[in-house]
Structure 1
């Protein structure tokens, strides 16, 4: 198994080099991922600290706020540092807190893309991801404006979120896909087949909710391994993901600068094969 320390970057589409420990900005919003974050200055400091600490991959979405998260990122970080990759998503309506409604209508998707370009203050979105496939709309129709945006140079790369292997293969007939963002962590591995597919096809795999440390049955194992590495259980959860596959990009989120530094230190933890197998059982 590859040493984590030897493999802390991944090249998106074989071209764009990304540090595998990134930052997910979803928490920098109001309650229920709705409305603006309570302390904007602190939120901007967290984003600026992440970039100064070496993070060059930030994940956001049109739906976070909605819109407020992208505006905040631009306020905090624009003009963007060379090499900073900002990934956003579209395809969700937000009627209220904790309320997420897929909308694959092509007109809505086109509006999402144009809005993200404007809010992020960019001419080209580095990575645009379809937040969810809308079961009411054929994905070919949903992605028509995305194909147009790619051809117009408004989107560089395209990814998908919360999809199965069949979904990915269907979409790859329409346009190239470079990443998949699915729920995956130490305690939730239902997308194992999708992860394996992304490894085989050299696509980035971006697990959301990466900090979950698993079921209670794992608790004593994680605590003993964490103690051995002088680490927190969250750091062990991240280190396990880094070791699981070289194409995994992590986007742990936080509103705290100290917690941000703690998450980033997970890159320094090298689990032994024995540790990894104990946690994987």
Structure 2
């Protein structure tokens, strides 16, 4: 209740009590008394007129006082209940740099996750004249399971690989038959998704939020040295600094997607766009040899 309204209500409630006090003084000190009827009575020695009138008045005064006190109590209760609650402090949003650091720590605690590499434009060049266009895989505590799609010239091939510890198995691109190979003979020997995520989150520079972004995820813009992407592509252009966009979940600070725009490898064109999507965090998985 506004302060001015409470003050007015208090004055109204106190008025009967003020009238009672005034009438009581009149009884103790006889003098001319005027009532709302306009009639004036002087105290009579017999006390008949004034006595009769004040007897009636005194009979009604206790009820009046009770009503006044009840009104005051009600006003106090309403006044207290109408007080506005103390606003809950709003948490200060973290800076873009702090959000990246939180994501780095959260991703480091994971035991497993799935990943997918696609290209909105261009491809990734591997050894053996392979032009990688898409790769999906699973990172577990004991290794890596990978399936890749690539081109050799005009031919399309699909290759699968499993890495457990120091052992590597891969399918023949032409026959699809599994065989164990020396780790250094694998066209994916450089691929290390765990190191890749750590390097990206640890080396992103000029972090900043875009002017607007979706509320269900954090988007962070920045740049990164191409050398920090060696665990993704192998050979890099040491002078390149492509742009990156990081998509981070605000609920658990996990990195969900990375968009890399620009030259990373010496063979890349300026408009090359690589997209890495991460999902299925901390699923209970264990890899086994394919043969």
Q: Same fold (TM over 0.5)?
A: no
Q: TM-score, normalised by structure 1?
A: 0.27
Q: TM-score, normalised by structure 2?
A: 0.27
Which structure's relative contact order is higher, taking Cα pairs within 8 Å and 6+ residues apart?
Answer: 1
Of structures 1 and 2, the larger Rg is shown by: 2
